[in-house]
Amino acid sequence: MATKAESRLTTLRVVSYALVITWLIIAAFPFLWTVWGSFKVQGDFFSKADWTNAIYGILTTRETGSAFTLNGYFGAWIQEEFWRNVFNTLVIVFFTVCISLTFGTLGGYALARSGFRYAFWVLMAALAFRAMPHITLVSGYMLPFFEWNIWGLKATTVIVLVAINQPFTLWMLHSFFLNIPKDMDESAMVDGCTRFQAFWNVIVPVMWPGVITTGLFSFLLAYNDYAVTSMLLSKPNETMVPAVASFLGSVQVQGNIMFAVAAVVSATAPLFILILFFQRQIVSGLTAGAVKG
Amino acid sequence: MKHRTFFWFILPTLSAMVLFIALPIVSVFIQSLFVQHEQVLVVSESCGPFGCVEETQVDTEATAKLREERPLGQFNGLATYFDRSHLASAEIAEVWRTSTGLSSFIDGIMDLKFYKALVFTLTYTFVVTPLVLIFGLAVAVGVNNLPKAFRGVAIFISLLPFLVATIVGSMILSWMVDGEGIIGATLQNIFNDPSLSIKASTPLMWIMLMVYGVWHTLPFAFITFYAGLQTVPQDTLEAARVDGANKWQTMISVVVPHLMPLVSFVTLMLLMDNFRVFEPLVSFQAEAHAQSLSTFIVSDLREAGNPLYASAGATSMLTILGVVILLTPVLIRTWRDFNAKVH
């Protein structure tokens, strides 16, 4: 309940509003600016003379006849074949999320139900693995992968992403399964189920909220990864993020930087939608590890 | 749960982690102990009308064959760790002997590639982490004061910088601060200096990278602290108010102590993630001004034609050592807590 004293405008309150508003502008402005600018020509997006050009699209109107142009998107998607990278991303992300969740649910369930000391050690090892810089792991993959001729394949990257994802997935699902009462699966076992049958028939039907939250983070990791995908995928198998990065190098030379801008916006748009629909799950997932300790 | 069942349940995840996290670390270590084969040289004598000349040629075929047979290279021990582009023990001793004072010693050290990368990585970690903690808490308190209807929108907007791929987010910012981008051009107008460019100045580039770091990771701290603020006991707040504490005093003596466990969790995560800073340096094309340990490794692996596995391996091991040192205090505390619980 807000009392009168609480709802009064104090200096402190004004300062705190100002701070939040400043932060929100800083957070949102770059995205709004880039999305808007992606429909302009380069001269407008980088308009040194007059920044309002970027808003009204003066040069865009002069060059294309309309204040909005899809040239950047056409160049990126069709000319530079960005759709291939989108397709690769879909394949890699889909398999990474599915396999990670399968491995993670089994492992997380076992860790949550095992009272033995080694369960603690597995979790500690996972925490240590979580701290390893991905790029150091990548430098360990390169030589063996070249030797075995599996470098550059989508499947290799999927497996690597699954493994890198495991520590986080395991921790999250472990703390989620701890919240499902033990009695549920144990009573099923008293009724004659094996451990796996109890897991399959009793736990699986109720685990989806936790799995969806964890899945979102697996998705984000695979979708946003650069360190692994840029080093381990061959050119035709590249996902969106490394493609965008390599785009930058190649198109800057040709003066087609708007291709890169359009590609960046295309790669970001799905995330906007994801956050829009799953905001609550993302927030609960981010804080799950922290609040429970 | 029986040991046997536990084993089968944990097997897939454990084998994934062992095969692709633990073994690569071993593989990196082994790589770092070897160095690439020297090229096989053939000395031949070619005689012309003006006498005979001894020619040294690279026997490419034999070199390729040798590399094919033993891709690791020849055993080198720990030499790579102490060579010029890593710990550079000989060079440091040299700088120590010749330097006239502290500043010339520091200059000498900063000329060495590895130390330059290390200094940037540490500066980045220890500037970004505290700033994110402070601003994250401030924004969390601010959003908590907002009317309920606006909180959802505020959280939605705040999540964007954090959830967008690092490389994409930093690319967006790098276009804006470009000399011709909106922020870059505005700054040039304000300071009336048309040559002002973030991409041309080392200090500005460092500042820009750290600003980016704060922008990108602040939401994580914010969300965690915001969730923590929902659990502050109302009774204690009420009691503090009755005792005459003002808002600021309540904040310092009630809210912050309540959030302390979260602060240590967020610090742990931030240290881990900031120490491996990598993508922003790629997007800002900062290699001329700033190198981190991670970009250092990548540039070795990308070495055209023959990747320098040994050098990358040595840097990787040193990076892992850095992570271990950073996290030791936190791990010791967890260990103590665990033992306290058991006994």
For chain B, domain boundaries: 36-75, 78-111, 118-290
Per-residue pLDDT band for A20 (boundaries 50, 70, 90) equals: very high
Highest mean pLDDT among A173-177, B56-60, B260-264: A173-177
- A178-187, A232-241, B136-145, B301-310: which range is least confident on average? B301-310
Q: Do the chains contact at A102 and B12, CB–CB below 8 Å?
A: yes
Chain B contact for A32, CB < 8 A?
Answer: no
Residues in B 146-185 with any Cβ partner in A closer than 8 A: 146, 152, 154-161, 163-169, 171-173, 175-176, 178-182, 185
Residues A72, B29: Cα–Cα separation, whole Å: 45
Q: Cβ contacts (< 8 Å) between B219 and chain A: which residues?
A: 27
ipTM: 0.88
Taking the C-alpha atoms of residue A93 and residue A112, their distance in angstroms, rounded to an integer, is: 27
Q: Is B311 on the interface with A (CB under 8 A)?
A: no
Average pLDDT in the A156-166 region? 94
CATH number 3.40.50.300 is the correct assignment for the domain at A81-292: no
pLDDT tens digits, B27-37:
889 888 888 77
pLDDT of A264 > 80? The answer is yes
Confirm if B291 and B120 have CB atoms less than 8 A apart: yes
CB atoms within 10 A of CB B207: 13
* Cβ <8 Å between B247 and A12: yes
Whether B156 and A279 lie within 8 Å, measured CB to CB:
yes
DSSP state of B305: S
pLDDT at res. A292:
45
Task: Assess A224–B contact: CB distance below 8 Å, yes or no.
Answer: yes
| Backbone torsions φ then ψ of A38, nearest 5 degrees | -70, -15
| Alpha-carbon gap: A256 to the closest alpha carbon of chain B (Å) | 13
- The closest alpha carbon to A227, from B268, B43, B316, B219, belongs to B316
Each domain of chain A, given as residue ranges in start order, spans 34-69, 81-292
DSSP state of A233: B
Superfamily name with CATH number, domain B118-290: MetI-like (1.10.3720.10)
| B45 SS3 class | strand
Distance between CA B86 and CA B321 in Å, rounded? Answer: 14
pLDDT digits 0-9 by tens, A190-245:
888 888 888 988 888 988 888 999 999 999 999 999 999 998 998 889 999 999 88
Burial letters A136-152, b for 16+ CB under 10 A, else e: bbbbbbbbebeeeeebb
**Average pLDDT over every residue of B38-64:** 73
Q: What interhelical angle do B113-145 and B256-275 show, nearest 10?
A: 150
| Strand B74-75 with B41-48, pairing | unpaired
Most confident listed range (A44-53, A257-266, B246-255, B298-307) = A257-266
Taking CB atoms and an 8 Å limit, are A48 and B316 in contact across chains?
no
pTM for this prediction: 0.87
Residues near B115 by beta carbon (within 8 Å), at least 6 away in sequence? B88, B109
pLDDT score recorded for residue B45? 73
Measure A34 CA to nearest chain B CA, in Å: 7
